[in-house]
Amino acid sequence: MREREAILSKIFNHDGVAKRSAPLAQLMLETKKIVMQVVHEGRSLSALLDKLNETERPAIQSLAYATLRNWNHAQALSSEYVSKKPSKELDALLTVAAMLIKNQGRAQNQYTVPTIVNEAVKAAGMSPKTKHGQGLINAVLRKVATAVQNDGAPKAQFGLPYPDWWLKRIQVAYPDQWESICRCQQTPPPLTLRVNQMMNTRAEYGAKLESSGIAYRTISEIAGVPLESALIIDAPLPVSQLPEFMQGAVSVQDAGAQLAPKLLSPQKAERLLDACAAPGGKTAHLLETISAEPAELIALEIDAERVKKIGNTLTRLQLINSYTQVIVGDVSQQDWWDGHLFDKILLDVPCSASGIVRRHPDIVFLRRSEDIARLVETQRAILENTWAMLKNGGTLLYLTCSIFPEEGEEQIARFVKDHSNALRLEAPGQLLPSEYHDGFFYGLLKKHQP
């Protein structure tokens, strides 16, 4: 779905009726608080949204995502009409409101410009930290509206405020593609599903979508790797409206993340490890696609709270069984391991997440240049540790959701160079963000006697 058709769409029902779970002023105020914590305190957007109740979350989440994706554009608009930088609180509220004005009339945004301005003034009056700025809010937003209407608004190259170090990295790595990568990451991602093959084939589930009046497209392959379960919903809608979602018929998963089972190709009676497994999507996908039971599948996760998400995922998808263990443990250590070697290892390592900015725009605000070297060292330690747990003749699939070469191609090339018993097999390597999927890296290694 194109950006102009998608921004703010989740604030409204699929039939175009506004989900006014709270007055716009209240929604803007709560969005301002969340955006401030991301931008100024380095807090995770997902963690902040998880604290909201189910009634208020959809609208605030959509406003927060749209504000972060359009941060540069909205900042350029509002700052044009203030003589000096306002307080952080006023600045954040102005940015949320300027984003709404910039995108007024798109998708099903039913708020008129006067309503947006008036509600922003009300929002300012609801907080002692911004009440003094009601006049400023009113004056600035009216000028912003006039500039947008006359197409005289200042423009930034990208809505997301990519740090200079980030841009330099991708400019060097992808001199002909870096701009298209950044433009792609400005847009909301598609609603991509993975059909649970234990319940339905893709064609069978497609028929259920059609019966419900939901239009979709299938994705048959990515980078030459066939996909049997992926489809995209043409007009995103709440998952509760998808046929049999709560019964486990489908999961939401980017198509680029659905390559792992086909590349790893688990077989009957093999011992499998899914390292860094939370929230459980890849563990579930492995179980959905295995034609015969493995001897054992261990889903490992260092965070005990996130381990609960793995259990919730497997429960909803009806994949709880006797041969799958969910374990709390650090994949860079061996204190959780029983000493029995694995036939196949799926290694979805911690990374910069630079490939999934469409789904997590806060990453651009949170990531620091020095993080990359630290992450590369962590990835290297994990690779070394898990390689010792792999049988001779076994395979390890290394996966990141990064587009930085240090975390992908350079990491695997160095590992193969340093290990004479590591044979690199055919795999997609670097996937760059596109209309149909986010950015991922896949490296497949086989352990053999040199």
**Architecture of the CATH domain 3-149:** Orthogonal Bundle (1.10)
**Average pLDDT for 379-405:** 98
Judging by DSSP bridges, how do beta strands 342-348 and 390-400 pair with one another? parallel
How many of the other CB atoms lie within 10 Å of CB of 35? 25
Residue 298 — φ and ψ, nearest 5°?
Answer: -105, 125
Dist CA 282 CA 279 (whole Å): 8
pLDDT score recorded for residue 150: 87
Instruction: List the domain boundaries for the chain.
Output: 3-149, 257-447
Is the per-residue pLDDT at 51 higher than 60? yes
pTM for the model: 0.91
Dist CA 223 CA 217 (whole Å): 18
Summarised one tens digit per residue, pLDDT across range 292-340 is 788 899 999 999 999 999 999 999 999 999 999 999 999 999 999 999 9
pLDDT score recorded for residue 339: 95
3.40.50.150, 1.10.150.120, 3.30.460.20, 1.10.3720.10: CATH of 257-447 = 3.40.50.150
Is the per-residue pLDDT at 12 higher than 50? no
**Distance between the two ends of the chain, CA-based, in angstroms?**
49
CA distances from residue 382 to 147, 157, 234, 325, 346 in whole angstroms, order as listed: 52, 38, 39, 20, 12
Query: Between 23 and 152, whose confidence is greater?
Result: 23
Dist CA 259 CA 346 (whole Å): 11
Summarised one tens digit per residue, pLDDT across range 340-349 is 999 999 999 9
Catalytic, 401? Answer: yes
pLDDT score recorded for residue 239: 93
pLDDT band at residue 105 under the 50/70/90 scheme: low
Three-state SS at 300: strand
